[in-house]
Chain A
């Protein structure tokens, strides 16, 4: 085993031992820091409960729809901003200042507009996902090598062809990177909206466990949510890595092919 792996293992063991020591020490109120075994048992019983899957499905529905809507809008607007310099300069200041603001603050507005049910959660996911995607797409489109555009124009490609055959393929890695960030914040936004006000979904499940003071169940639900978020992030990261490699090769090939022309 390498030194890095040994250090990592030692860190994990130490953290776990510290956790167990705290759980058994009596320094904190009983039940506030449950033993890891209790948490694992709670996780198993949550996963064995049929109701859990209906909450999971509800959250997946909200996150999926919100993420899809938000990314689609982000790609469309980001692409138009990148292609039209005028529109880009027009919209960029607003996107730039709105992007880092706390999105959850929109939730009361969304609940007024779309109701306290599934609509406001989807909208929350969509708004959360929109900003990383639009920013990444805009940056990606502006980084498309001008030589590719010149080639397309010299072949008399139509505007639509330029969008689908030049802009889209060379912007794809940037878009996917933006979507990776977007999915992360869409998960956060949707679950926070569920925690604030809802009657179904994983966020609701977590806050219900909190309110009934089933603390080890609360830990278990959060553990499951974290595992899902990490898995989603890894999956989309794999896609991004693959696209990145593919695209870099394409760009290099194009540049090499075009060098004699200049």
Chain B
């Protein structure tokens, strides 16, 4: 069993390496056009070149900054909204379905409107990021508060806890794991939308970088930029996952 657990990921990695090697061979042998799919070695070299020539670190920090600001705004607006929907059941009943419907709505398609309203800059990108992030925060916060066992609330009430103490000592600790999940989802959705929009409107950090490489028709560098963005978002999201797990364990 132990061997097997180690074997499957190794086989997955081997398959990836094999696929890259096959691509390398096919491109070098002229089976596929190197202008369409350049050999992976050339992409790696282009990545190295890009690291030297392009401001990768500042592009990364710019995107991260906008995404984090939008996530923070989503937390500031979403957590109280989710709490209000729990505290005043009428609001919860009236709006829960609406918020859930917005969750699956193609909000990012509204970006031409935001360009009109806020101009082609970080405000438009951040606003779309905020909108896509605030929805999971509201839903998860509401879910978290609603899932706090009634028994706990009743015990607190029988001890005559004030509204404030009830929130601080019972409701918030009970809802916190769900809130963290909401924040992690918000970070993911904001980042996706921020990077995507940066590419779409040719502005900002990582997404802009990919578009620039395409516009220059520097194909190996474009592949490298796409791989770089994917790598960064994978690392960022798994870091967020780990952070969430740690916070939940501590709370």
* B76 contacts chain A at the CB level, 8 A cutoff: no
Contacts of B94 in A (CB 8 A): 4, 7-8, 11
User: What is the CB-to-nearest-CB distance from B25 to chain A, in angstroms, rounded to a whole number?
Assistant: 18
* A229 contacts chain B at the CB level, 8 A cutoff: yes
**Stretch of B141-149, B158-166, B168-176, B187-195 contacting A (4+ beta carbons < 8 Å):** B187-195
A195 to B112, Cβ gap below 8 A? yes
* B200 contacts chain A at the CB level, 8 A cutoff: yes
User: What is the CB-to-nearest-CB distance from A193 to chain B, in angstroms, rounded to a whole number?
Assistant: 10
A101 to B106, Cβ gap below 8 A? no
A102 to B195, Cβ gap below 8 A? yes
Contacts of B52 in A (CB 8 A): none
The residue in chain A whose Cβ has the minimal distance to the Cβ of B93 is A4
- Within 85-104 of A, Cβ neighbours of B (below 8 Å) are at 85-91, 93-94, 97-98, 100-104
Q: Main SS of chain A's interface residues?
A: helix
Q: Which residues of B contact A (CB under 8 A)?
A: 4-5, 7-9, 11-12, 15-16, 36-37, 90-91, 93-95, 98, 101, 104-106, 108-110, 112-113, 115-117, 188, 191-193, 195-196, 199-200, 207, 210-211, 213-214, 219, 222-223, 226, 229-230, 233-234, 237-238
Known: A108-B214, A112-B36. 12 other contacts (CB 8 A): A87-B8, A89-B8, A90-B15, A97-B234, A100-B233, A104-B195, A104-B196, A109-B222, A112-B214, A188-B109, A218-B116, A229-B105
Give 28 pairs: A residue, B residue, CB < 8 Å, sorted on A: A3-B90, A4-B94, A7-B90, A8-B98, A11-B95, A32-B117, A88-B8, A89-B12, A90-B11, A97-B234, A97-B237, A100-B233, A102-B191, A102-B207, A105-B230, A108-B210, A108-B226, A112-B222, A191-B106, A191-B109, A192-B108, A192-B109, A192-B200, A209-B112, A210-B115, A218-B112, A229-B105, A230-B101
Q: Which residues of A contact B (CB under 8 A)?
A: 3-4, 7-8, 11, 28, 32-33, 85-91, 93-94, 97-98, 100-109, 111-113, 180-181, 184, 187-188, 191-192, 195-196, 203, 206-207, 209-210, 215, 218-219, 222, 225-226, 229-230, 233
